[in-house]
Structure 1
Amino acid sequence: MKTPYFKAFESRRPRFNSPMTPVQRRLWHGLAGVSAASGALYLHWRWTTSLNPDALLFSALVAGAETLFYLGALLFTFDIWDEGDTPQQPPPKMREAAGLDGAAGPIAVDVFITTYDEPPEVVAPSVQEAKAVQVPEGVGMRIWLLDDGNRAQMADLAARENIGYFARDTNEGFKAGNLRNGLLQTSGDFVVICDADTRLFPRFLHNTLGYFCDPQVAWVQTPHWFYDLPEGQPWAAWLARHLGLSPKGTLARRGGGALTWITGRSHVGSDPFMSDPLMFFDVIQRRRNRNGAAFCCGAGSIHRREAVFDAALKRKACAVGRLEVARALAGLTVQDQLRAVPLEPYKFHVSEDLYTSILLHEDSTAGWRSVYHPQVESRMLSPMSLEAWAGQRLKYAGGSFDIAVRDNPLWRRGLSWQQKLHYGATFWSYISLLWAPILLLAPMVSLITGVTPVKAYTVDFFAHFLPAVLAGELAMIWGCKGHGLGAGRVLSVAVLPVHMRALYCVLRGQRPGFAPTPKLPMSGAGRRHVVPHLLVIAAMSAAVAIGIWRTWSGDPGFSPPLLVINLFWLMCNMILVARLPLAALFQGAVLSPDADDIDAEVSFTPRSMLAEKEVFHACRSSI
């Protein structure tokens, strides 16, 4: 067996995620207000003064896309308005202290390590580090390997490590079904969920169990940290190596500075697939916690068994009640009804973590709430090929679209208005694919046709446009505590073809299913996913050539201001589009089966009819 590539990163340690200081908070709030006001003034000017009467449809489309992005920015501003960390407490030493009923004795914790097709070299370190977790006083812990692949090598691994092992013959419910299989055969008061590559830190229980001293806490989510992300090398060093320059020479340093400005990245080759989740966890999730809206992300979370079963039993009872009419018509017995509606502690869905979070948050009668713990308590592996990256993104998008279209939380009565806005921000970020292409392709249209989305590029245009852009940029820099914004912007463009495919499949009535993301690098896998980006780059390049030629030839529909402004706009867009094709050139260490033997795609399968739809919508209005 080869040495796994991630062994080279074992010494890495996560950063401490500091809270916002009072000065940061005040400055962020002030800049957010300026940004909102300047954006509103710009849009008022766009709609009342600047529309191009000679190309009204094109001009209105661009102004409409800008308006929708502004609304998204307002929603995002609310989403990350303020931090509200839950005070940390020491772990409870008695069952009563954790709100647990029943006989006296130690608090029981089950650690579930879920696996499907991951090799032993990925799973074994997760098992070994789970065994190294320090168990607090008054707590008992058991580790279980939940093997959805039903493989002899996983059973052997569990036997060697002296941990529990469960397998099943079917894969009903994906990961949610695997978790249910484990839950129905264990009895721990709390359940820690780990993916095959989730390696818990020794203090995991000490740092998370204390939140459950509040008996209403249903789950605690910790950040994901990908410890294997390539760090790359500075642009100056990269130029020196490829052009034979001195790394400390003026040409390399200035060239490196220019490339840093152009690309928004200080290093080349760092995080090639834009997988670093720090921005999401330390900014978005952390600030949603103030309104009890940080949702579960699966791995690295710990759950109160009572909460997940309480919600599941309510949903099952509700769905069975709705099948009474079907029983009367078809002669179904009560036992038939119970079998027709499965018990789902975690909702059977490709996005089981997000879906289950919504169902627990909406249960106003039980009052369950979530806690986001802001510090990293485990480490994981990142997607290390385009195939893995695309499969993961397709899963996220397909699951989110499916929930938004068929069971949107905005219509759920049990959620607070704050929680609805937070969940709405998640779905808004996905449906932006409907208007993002307009702004992406608008300068290309202008360079080809000479048609502009504004009357003219005058001083009045810049007087309204630049303050809105600069205020928004400064607000985001301070609001996101200095976390890099470039990767998020690039990602929003890179994922457009994947998100379009996901939305198309969901609107056709297909339910997303998924195969787990490969945990080891696959050299060259998934390069077909950059074909749309290459086609767009080719079209943009042609537009540049046409615009320059028509301006140089004196075409009356073209002018130097039109050319310069749209060239700048288009080049910025080209940089965003080109990032994913550059990632296709990434060559990581390879330790995996041949890429052609692995399918990391999300699949979409037709929905079944009666039982599936009944279960899906059964409790929308009843819990």
Structure 2
Amino acid sequence: MGALHIWMTWRLTERTPPPPLGHVSIDVLIPTYNESVDIVRRTLAAAVAMDLPHTTWLLDDGNRPEMEQLARSVGAKYLARTDHAHAKAGNLNHALQHAKGDFVAIFDADHVPNKHFLTRTLGYFRDPDVAFVQTPQDFYNTDSFQHRERNAKGLVWTEQSLFFRVIQRGKDFFNAAFFCGSCAIARRSALDGIGGFATSTITEDLHTSIRLHKAGWKSVYHAESLAFGIAPATMDPFITQRIRWGQGAMQVWRQEGLLFAKGLTIAQRLNYFASVSTYFDGWQKAILYFLPVYSLWTGQLPLRTDVGTLMLHWLPFIVLNYLVFEELARGYGRSLYVEQYNLARFFAFAYATLSLFWKRPLSFKVTDKEHTGQSGSGATRPVQVVYLLNLTAIPIGVALYLAFGHIGLEGLMLACIWSLINVVLASSVIRFAGFKTRYRRKNHRFGVPHAIELFRGPNRLPCVIDNLSIDGCRIYGKVPIDLKDDECINALLHLPNKVLPLSLVVRHRFRQQHQGTSFITAIGCTVDWSSDTDKLALEQYLYGSDHQWSLNNLTEQDHTPLEKVTRWIMRRPARLHQKASDWQPLIHTNGQVLGVISQRVDPSSGHVRAISTETPHSHLIGVIAVGRRQNQTLDLRLIDYRMVSTPAKPYFLCTYARS
């Protein structure tokens, strides 16, 4: 498996999308079963608003009147069916009987597409042999179970980072990238040639990919984030999803053979085999988690050697293993997090592999996409077993050694250390899963700092809004000291597409002491909507782009070990990360709100970053940065700017020199 991973990730594709095809017909298919109206509306509205002419279809396997009404309200077509055979694959095939476009784009009900999705992917079909183009499946709820945030460094890593940033690009080099069920576009004639989406397994995406490759078609992996969905909020739906993937992979293996499948190249066979056989890691991990327990109880060691000889072989192996993995991961590895998720899902992977040996039908279980906590997490039970057995094995092993000398002192020490590592690892998984279970917010809060004006009596108070959703927000700035809980405040939020009126209710005040004086640094608010139009405008802006990463300079990619050493030798400064409290409103001398500007100066250049909702001016003289304690008058010279697309209008990330 190690050799396959190195071979598969040694070379990665670098693709530049060709200009899109013209004069073609496109159908956008969005299957839904039990997702809420709110979730589907975001995806459907964004799909309808995508660039290039197309027809959007809502495929409702739940036969719900509210979904038909929703489709009509946003300008999409509605399609339902009388039976629900073959779950998602059957739903898509039913749609192919009605939609007659040359190309078919597929999005899960929670995956909100970027408006440029079709523009960026359609050009690859200039090659008549390309069957489908897959893009990464990214997720906007960075507080999910599969996300890990290191706010001090501006790192947001997800359990699927390695797959979508590295492995899929490595597979793409061998024409072996596979369809992932969403965020993809396919050639209609290619699907028709294999009889539509595969229905004989519960992973229609992987199975359909293999059939297309066996038929001689090409695949393309375009490694640009062009849609954002909902990752499992807690451990239970995360594990349910992995079991389904694993069971489907075993079904595909049994039906298609993989290593001996006719029509696939040798490279494609090895790539598919590497992806499917990874689920057997669950058995390997189970041995590593329970072997020290067995040794401490019975005195039987897996190796017969002395500590010195063991360390001489094991230490170089573990160091080289770590370095090879991290360097090939190109900064998306995170070995510690990977081991935690290996423990979290080892039982799910091992259980899923049993499907290779039975032929009974499996049911397609839809992943829970609602962003709410759950009362309990049964998925942690295998991890709890690992924790308890290893924790109790240490005193039992010590007691047996003292009483009977059943294991050598060196063996006892190594087995105890091994068990202790398992205890710490399991404890971290249990704590993290418990923390995510307690999460109760229905909608994700986006870290998108923008200027907001609060109106309290005759006072106009420019502040910065952050931690924003359609339900609530947090506001930083010069907030009145006498502000009360449950007080209502009118506000104007400056977004790229419009200035949005908000009615806010204060729910929490964040206080701080400075030189004996207490003041409010921020307030937490809920939003009281009086207009559905305004609510939809905010929703349209928040979903379907990577702006919460762009605005705060966040990244999934860390430096590799060798890069860290090089940066330390070269004394290169750390990457600048913006915190929500770093931003200040930027006001023109005429009172116009220009955006927000950072208080943090880049140590390497002396420049500052700003966010503007309008095309930036080359020189700003006498503008005012509104601070919590005092204002600053600034002269700013534009160095550079970058336009960032949103589902509404773009905004601009600017770099200014202060004079």
TM range (shorter): 0.5 to 0.7
Q: How many residues align?
A: 437
Q: Does 1:178 align with 2:91?
A: yes
Residues 530 and 271 of structure 1: CA distance in aligned 2, closer, same or farther (over 3 Å): farther
Q: Deviations over 1:237-258 (max 9, x none)?
A: xxxxxxxxxxxxxxxxxxxxxx
Instruction: Report the more deviating stretch, 540-549 or 203-212.
Output: 540-549
> Residues 196-207 of structure 1 correspond to what in structure 2 (within 5 A)?
196-207=109-120
2:54 aligns with: 141
Q: Does 1:120 align with 2:37?
A: yes
> Residues 550-589 of structure 1 correspond to what in structure 2 (within 5 A)?
550-551=400-401, 553=402, 555-582=404-431, 583-586=433-436, 587-589=438-440
Amino acid at match of 2:388: A
Deviation at 1:424, TM superposition (A): 0.9
2:80 aligns with: 167
Deviation at 1:266, TM superposition (A): 5.1
1:292 aligns with: 175
1:410 aligns with: 259
Look up the SS of the partner of 1:514 in the other structure.
Answer: coil
1:423 aligns with: 272
> Residues 221-236 of structure 1 correspond to what in structure 2 (within 5 A)?
221-230=134-143
Instruction: Report the more deviating stretch, 563-572 or 200-209.
Output: 563-572
Amino acid at match of 2:45: Q
- Mapped to 2, the partners of 1:511 and 1:500 lie a distance apart of 19
Look up the SS of the partner of 1:379 in the other structure.
Answer: strand
Deviation at 1:590, TM superposition (A): 4.5
Residues 424 and 525 of structure 1: CA distance in aligned 2, closer, same or farther (over 3 Å): farther
Deviation at 1:384, TM superposition (A): 1.1
- Mapped to 1, the partners of 2:201 and 2:47 lie a distance apart of 27
Aligned-pair identity in percent equals 29
Deviation at 1:453, TM superposition (A): 1.6
TM, length-normalised to structure 1: 0.66
Look up the SS of the partner of 1:113 in the other structure.
Answer: strand
Look up the SS of the partner of 2:99 in the other structure.
Answer: coil
Amino acid at match of 1:538: L
Work out which of the residue numbers 240, 244, 264 in structure 2 matches 1:391: 240
Amino acid at match of 1:178: N
Q: Deviations over 1:97-126 (max 9, x none)?
A: xxxxxxxxx211111111001010000011
Work out which of the residue numbers 214, 219, 240 in structure 2 matches 1:362: 214
Q: Deviations over 1:54-84 (max 9, x none)?
A: xxxxxxxxxxxxxxxxxx1111111212112
**8 Å CA contact 2:4, 2:270 repeated in 1:** yes
- Mapped to 2, the partners of 1:389 and 1:509 lie a distance apart of 25
- Mapped to 1, the partners of 2:253 and 2:163 lie a distance apart of 20
**8 Å CA contact 1:386, 1:526 repeated in 2:** no
Deviation at 1:422, TM superposition (A): 0.6
Residues 358 and 575 of structure 1: CA distance in aligned 2, closer, same or farther (over 3 Å): farther
Q: Which runs of 5+ in 1 are unaligned?
A: 1-71, 94-105, 233-263, 313-343, 593-623
Q: Does 1:154 align with 2:67?
A: yes
- Mapped to 2, the partners of 1:108 and 1:567 lie a distance apart of 65
- Mapped to 2, the partners of 1:554 and 1:349 lie a distance apart of 55
**8 Å CA contact 1:520, 1:591 repeated in 2:** yes
1:601 aligns with: none
Look up the SS of the partner of 1:584 in the other structure.
Answer: helix
2:330 aligns with: 481
**8 Å CA contact 1:308, 1:346 repeated in 2:** no
Deviation at 1:380, TM superposition (A): 0.5
Q: Does 1:84 align with 2:7?
A: no
Work out which of the residue numbers 251, 254, 279 in structure 1 matches 2:162: 279
- Mapped to 2, the partners of 1:444 and 1:267 lie a distance apart of 37
Task: Give 1 or 2: higher strand fraction.
Answer: 2
Amino acid at match of 1:296: F
**8 Å CA contact 2:61, 2:80 repeated in 1:** yes
Deviation at 1:304, TM superposition (A): 0.4
> Residues 192-591 of structure 1 correspond to what in structure 2 (within 5 A)?
192-230=105-143, 276-312=159-195, 344-363=196-215, 367-483=216-332, 484-505=334-355, 507-525=357-375, 527-551=377-401, 553=402, 555-582=404-431, 583-586=433-436, 587-591=438-442
Q: Deviations over 1:167-186 (max 9, x none)?
A: 01111111111111111101
TM, length-normalised to structure 2: 0.63
- Mapped to 1, the partners of 2:189 and 2:293 lie a distance apart of 56
Q: Which is bigger in relative contact order (C-alpha 8 A, separation at least 6)? A: 1
Deviation at 1:554, TM superposition (A): 6.7
- Mapped to 2, the partners of 1:435 and 1:461 lie a distance apart of 20
Look up the SS of the partner of 1:107 in the other structure.
Answer: coil
**8 Å CA contact 1:308, 1:345 repeated in 2:** yes
- Mapped to 2, the partners of 1:267 and 1:572 lie a distance apart of 26
Amino acid at match of 1:281: F
**8 Å CA contact 1:385, 1:525 repeated in 2:** no
Q: Deviations over 1:545-581 (max 9, x none)?
A: 1223344x37433344223322222222233333442
Amino acid at match of 1:116: Y
**8 Å CA contact 1:85, 1:372 repeated in 2:** no
**8 Å CA contact 2:141, 2:230 repeated in 1:** yes
Amino acid at match of 1:222: T
- Mapped to 2, the partners of 1:462 and 1:482 lie a distance apart of 28
CA RMSD of aligned residues (A): 2.4
**8 Å CA contact 1:110, 1:144 repeated in 2:** yes
Residues 190 and 231 of structure 1: CA distance in aligned 2, closer, same or farther (over 3 Å): closer
Look up the SS of the partner of 1:513 in the other structure.
Answer: coil
> Which stretches of structure 1, 4 residues or longer, exceed 4 Å deviation after superposition?
264-268
- Mapped to 2, the partners of 1:142 and 1:231 lie a distance apart of 32
Deviation at 1:491, TM superposition (A): 2.1
**8 Å CA contact 1:146, 1:178 repeated in 2:** yes
- Mapped to 1, the partners of 2:96 and 2:168 lie a distance apart of 27
Amino acid at match of 1:389: F
**8 Å CA contact 1:84, 1:286 repeated in 2:** yes
Q: Does 1:108 align with 2:37?
A: no
2:2 aligns with: 73
Residues 436 and 426 of structure 1: CA distance in aligned 2, closer, same or farther (over 3 Å): same
Residues 391 and 526 of structure 1: CA distance in aligned 2, closer, same or farther (over 3 Å): farther
Work out which of the residue numbers 39, 49, 54 in structure 2 matches 1:132: 49
